[in-house]
Chains A and B, each alone.
Chain A
Amino acid sequence: MASHGVAKYNRAARTEEQRQQDLEKIEKYRQIEDSIRSQASAGTYDTALFQLTSKLLRLNPEYHTIWNVRRRCLISSLLSKSSTSNSSPDTMPTPHEDQSTSTTEQSASSTAADADSDADILRSELAFTVPLLVEFPKCYWLWGYRQWILEQAVLRLPTATATSIWEGELALDSKMLTKDRRNFHAWGYRRYLVARLETPELRGKSMVEDEFTYTTKMIRVDLSNFSAWHNRSRLIRRLLDERGADDKARAAFIEAELDQIREALNVGPEDQSLWYYHRYLILQLIHHSQESTIVPNLTVEERISYIEREIEDIKDLIEDYDDIKWVYEALLEYTLALGQLRQASQSTGGDDDRQNEELQTWLAKLRKLDPMQAGRWDDVEKELKSRRETT
């Protein structure tokens, strides 16, 4: 009903034989579905019903109601009863919440055999969904179901066992991201796994260094992986805080990031992922008062000097890459930001006439290289004009 990338074919062109095959498939599918419905409406969420859901979900992992039936079977029949009271849907914690139920308390009340059996069942649930996830990596319900299974592990298993299951999940997520480096389900899932692993219920220690290293690794494989750049941008603040980085260390950090992205831009200036990350770094330097930044104590003069250096380097890019629109877009944006910084600090520098001329040249380039955004360039031009009039 929502097909992506499926080549066109003629529906009416089925042969009678193909039609018969379809009808047989439909009958088989609907038989399983009917059995599940009649059992579920009778309220017998037992092993037999559980096995029927396996059959149907292998045919159709998008069928979310069947995943719910499966969860009910697990709670009612397969998993141990000891912590059933904690597994009702409403108590499912979010990664941001500090959870009140104590794992140790529960494992004391349930027998070790229960925990072993629960661990086996939960592991087998994760194994059941792996081939489906590989085949349907964008199926929301599958990711949601795995998340629920993992929360059951936290509720029911000793910390060490639960942690090893969650760590296995992180390894699987890395595999999914090797297959599709941009899968936003897998990136979101990764952030969720890490946030939960960091809580005292599981590993209980920060993983920010490891995760930062992971983004470095992903970026080395593919500079165009904006998902990895994005994740990097979201880790830096915590990374520096946890390192206890002083002002000098912070300045050194942003310099190293700028060096890295500058090198990459010298090789691939047409790569918009690189420009977006560069823009992120520049925003840290511009430091609007309402936003926090990774380099909070740089003086305005230092900020100005960093941005000037970036602008000069980008101008050098024009010599080799005269026809890349991103170059001009960056020059325009950063130069205007620099002007505001200078104004705020009342510092002089930059010849206004020369700068206006440059801005006009870049804008003209943008109009030529990126005519699809003509309306945007019109607006920029109006803004430039009104700025000139007010200064």
Chain B
Amino acid sequence: MSGIQELPDELQLATAQHVKYIQSLDTRKDEYDYWLTEHLRLNGLYWGLTSLYLLRHPDALPRDETIDFVLSCQHSNGGFGAAPGHDAHMLYTVSAVQILALVDALDELDKRGQGKAMVGKFIADLQNRETGTFSGDEWGEEDTRFLYGAFNALSLLGMMHLVDVDKAVNHIVACANFDGGYGVSPGAESHSGQIFTCVAALTIAGRKDLIDVDRLAGWLSERQVPSGGLNGRPEKKEDVCYSWWVLSSLAMIGRTHWIDREKLIGFILRSQDLEQGGISDRPGNMADVWHTIFGLAGLSLLGYPGLDAVDPVFCLPKTTMERVLGKAR
């Protein structure tokens, strides 16, 4: 990372502003948008809290309140909603498990929640036992995002044995395209976000041998555009969140050196809001916590100084993963 010292001042990481920005997110109850986005609350807490851990300010949000809030979102079937009063869904259940792993409170599930076993059962019951893929909830929408989410959360809980891993792996293989990428379902176009979910799920399953590495890496590195940012599909605009989807996929197959890492660092840093904090989809736009975490996680994978190392498979700090997987084994 020799180039970092040469960057101008406005291209430094605005750590203090980002911390303040994340702390402010739950104080915006007089903004209409706060209420319109309640269906993302638990995800938002995961994005914000992981950002704070990567920024080395893990205590910037109160731990007890965090745990209380997470548990208040749980249903009797073990699954979690986005906030109290919201229906349970895979997406929120994964965020809940990730948050509890992050703050070292998975044990609270047994102490005060419905129990780890119920969470594991909720997730495992969403597997389609014929095709191997997963739906998001009882209403049946299926997507490789849910398959990855299930693998992620079940790994953190040490409960991968509850699902049919081989069938899930076969399903991912069926989602592969000639360009080396993966789609939402068999037949769907390759998409960087979906590639992340499939490559990460294969990594968790220990089946990276099924990936056409050079072809996929070529497709992924072709996502970089002259601004240094990455796009999600051919001929689309660049976006900070793909700093994570593309880069972490490249990391899992050992090919991050196929893109211009310093140009990507510049793109992410230029997308920061230096006054109000946070990172946006691209320079000049409104920051949000989703682009903040994926921008920071990208910078972390790129070895940017001042950030904790992120795990490319789970999008949690490496220290968290070492602690949790150590326990789960």
Contacts and interface: CB of A to CB of B under 8 A. Distances in A.
Interface in B265-288: 273, 275-276, 280-281, 284-288
A224 B235 contact: yes
Interface residues of B, number: 69
B102 interface: no
A234 B189 CA distance: 9
A9 B278 CA distance: 13
B281 A5 contact: yes
12 contacts: A1-B44, A1-B288, A8-B286, A29-B32, A89-B138, A184-B188, A187-B188, A187-B189, A191-B187, A224-B235, A233-B178, A375-B255
Nearest to B226: A372
A381 to B, nearest CB: 13
A1 B44 CA distance: 7
Residue among B130, B178, B217 with most chain A CB within 10 A: B178
A1 B40 contact: yes
Nearest to A59: B36
A3 interface: yes
B18 interface: no
Q: 10 closest Cβ contacts across the A-B interface?
A: A375-B257, A2-B290, A372-B260, A92-B140, A1-B37, A376-B258, A89-B138, A6-B286, A144-B141, A65-B87
Contacts of A5: 281, 285
Nearest to A373: B221
A230 B280 contact: no
Interface in A17-73: 19, 22-23, 25-26, 29-30, 37, 59-60, 62-65, 68, 71
B131 A30 contact: no
A264 interface: no
B51 interface: no
Interface of A: 1-12, 19, 22-23, 25-26, 29-30, 37, 59-60, 62-65, 68, 71, 89-90, 92, 94, 96-97, 140, 144, 147-148, 182, 184, 187-188, 191, 224, 226-227, 230-231, 233-234, 271-273, 276, 279-280, 283, 371-376, 378-379
A68 B185 contact: no
A90 B138 contact: yes
Interface SS majority for chain B: loop
B130 A184 contact: no
A94 B35 contact: no
B239 interface: yes
Interface in B181-200: 183-185, 187-191
Contacts of B233: 182, 184, 226-227
B290 A374 contact: no
B258 A279 contact: no
B81 A184 contact: no
Given A65-B39, A184-B191, A373-B258, 5 more contacts: A1-B40, A4-B285, A64-B86, A276-B179, A372-B228
Nearest to A235: B187
Interface of B: 28, 30-33, 35-40, 43-44, 81-82, 85-87, 89, 128, 130-131, 137-142, 177-179, 183-185, 187-191, 217-218, 221-222, 224, 228, 233-236, 239, 255, 257-260, 263, 273, 275-276, 280-281, 284-291
A144 B185 CA distance: 14
A188 B188 contact: yes
Given A2-B290, A68-B87, A96-B131, A63 B39 contact: yes
Nearest to A36: B85
A374 B263 CA distance: 12
A140 B40 CA distance: 13
Contacts of A2: 40, 288-291
Nearest to B214: A379
Contacts of A64: 39, 86-87, 89
Contacts of B89: 64
Contacts of B258: 373, 375-376, 379
Contacts of B236: 182
A376 to B, nearest CB: 4
Contacts of B291: 2
B129 to A, nearest CB: 12
Given A372-B224, A375-B258, A376-B258, A147 B141 contact: yes
B30 A230 contact: no
Contacts of A375: 255, 257-259
Contact of B286 (A3, A29, A30, A140): A3
Given A191-B188, A272-B234, A30 B35 contact: yes
B289 A1 contact: yes
A273 B190 CA distance: 12
A14 B290 CA distance: 24
A223 to B, nearest CB: 10
Given A191-B188, A279-B178, A372-B263, A11 B234 contact: no
Nearest to A326: B222
Contacts of A148: 139-140
Contacts of A184: 184, 188-189, 191, 233
Residue among A8, A25, A92, A97 with most chain B CB within 10 A: A8
B290 A1 contact: yes
A241 to B, nearest CB: 16
A11 B81 CA distance: 28
Nearest to B140: A92
B81 A65 contact: yes
Contacts of A144: 139, 141
